């Protein structure tokens, strides 16, 4: 059984910036409910949190395992592999991992930017795409800092 529940799936430019003719990739937001690893007695983790090595800290819940926020939200693509030698529930290379509180507080604009930054990797952000009369185009990126 998985500790994750899918919140949503959205398509993003595969390399983090929209360009004419760019490829797209599906990003999935996987939530980890608040009861997973919860220190609250009765939630089933009295012997310890087996997910502490790869997830943000657990959240305190009520007796039924509910809390105002989830434990975490993990953003993955179809290339993210779930299952490591350490734990079969761990994603090998998630794009981004937020606490439930961070996810609840972030604006869509900031979340979109963080996901695009993760997809972009070490490439600079695209600031312009110039189309020439001869049909060619060039991409202008932010200067490296």
How far is C-alpha 137 from the geometric centre of its chain's CA atoms? 32
Supply the pLDDT for residue 11: 97
Residue 118's φ and ψ, nearest 5 degrees, are -65, -40
Q: Is the per-residue pLDDT at 1 higher than 80?
A: no
Residue 18's φ and ψ, nearest 5 degrees, are -75, 130
Whole-number Cα distances in Å, 44 to 37, 55, 64, 68, 131:
8, 17, 11, 19, 59
Supply the pLDDT for residue 81: 87
User: Could you report the per-residue pLDDT of 43-76, keeping only the tens digit for each?
Assistant: 888 899 999 999 999 999 998 899 999 999 999 9
Distance CA(87)–CA(38), nearest Å, equals 18
- CA within 13 Å, CB half, 31: 16
Count other C-beta atoms under 10 Å from residue 79's C-beta. 9
User: Could you report the per-residue pLDDT of 2-25, keeping only the tens digit for each?
Assistant: 999 999 999 999 999 999 999 999
Distance CA(23)–CA(42), nearest Å, equals 47
């Amino acid at each position: 059984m998985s500790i994750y529940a899918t919140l949503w799936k959205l398509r993003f430019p595969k390399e983090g910036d929209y360009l004419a003719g760019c490829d797209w990739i599906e990003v999935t937001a996987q939530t980890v409910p608040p009861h997973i690893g919860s220190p609250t007695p009765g939630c089933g983790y009295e012997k310890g949190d087996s997910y502490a090595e790869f997830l943000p800290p657990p959240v305190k819940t009520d007796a039924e395992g509910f809390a105002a926020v989830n434990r975490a939200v993990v953003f993955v693509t179809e290339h993210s592999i779930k299952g490591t030698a350490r734990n079969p529930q761990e994603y090998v290379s998630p794009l981004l991992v937020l606490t439930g509180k961070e996810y609840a507080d972030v604006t869509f604009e900031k979340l979109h930017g963080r996901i695009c930054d993760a997809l972009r990797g070490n490439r600079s952000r695209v600031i312009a795409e110039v189309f020439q009369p001869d049909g060619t185009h060039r991409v202008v990126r932010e200067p490296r800092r």
